[in-house]
Amino acid sequence: MSKLSGNMILVRDLLKEYDANAYRLLLLSTYYRSPISYTPKSMNYFETEYDKILRVKKQLFLELDLHNGFGDNEPDKELVLELEVAMNNDFNTPNVITGIQKLVKKANVALRGNENVENLSSLYNTLDIYLSVLGLDINLKRLGSNDKETYLSWQDARKNKDYDKADEYRKLLVEKGII
């Protein structure tokens, strides 16, 4: 891309279409000594990857919030060690992103498998470490009692196959950005 050939994209224009953290992932996916190869396809890929990360962090946060599971549980030592090795290996951020993808898969399996709160807390803390190292800030707010009640009612309606009621609750939760 160059200004002379007319195919230059300004960051402010890019950020009108994409999330800043998705763009940050794209930048970090390239080794810092290599040129960055931007294409709309690659940007869409990292937008999708960021959405996966955001969705898992929200789900872990929600589960921990509902079960008062926030605590000082140790992060996953193996994954933290992989992070340290990658960063000590000449700031190898592409490997860190691979570690985040691995962590997202592990968290999804844990969430579907109804893991205990301590394990979910450990995964959440590990994800927080990875994200903070890369400068990806995802700040979430704890649920109020009304929001918790709405979420639990949504779960009950789904379990009881009352889909009309579940859809109403889901709409409220989506409007508030909870799910």
How far apart, in Å, are the Cα atoms of 56 and each of 25, 102, 132, 162, 164? 16, 12, 16, 26, 26
What is the radius of gyration, based on Cα positions, of the chain?
Answer: 19
If asked whether residues 80 and 22 sit together in one domain, one would say yes
If asked whether residues 52 and 78 sit together in one domain, one would say yes
pLDDT above 90 for 102: yes
If asked whether residues 92 and 118 sit together in one domain, one would say yes
Residue span of the structural domain in which 71 resides? 11-140
CB 56, CB 107: distance < 8 Å: yes
If asked whether residues 87 and 171 sit together in one domain, one would say no
**What does the pLDDT read at residue 2?**
54
Mean pLDDT score, 60-87: 90
User: pLDDT tens digit string along 32-56?
Assistant: 888 888 889 999 999 999 999 999 9
pTM of the model: 0.87
Measured distance CA(134)–CA(106) in Å, rounded: 19
If asked whether residues 178 and 111 sit together in one domain, one would say no
How many structural domains are present in the chain?
Answer: 2
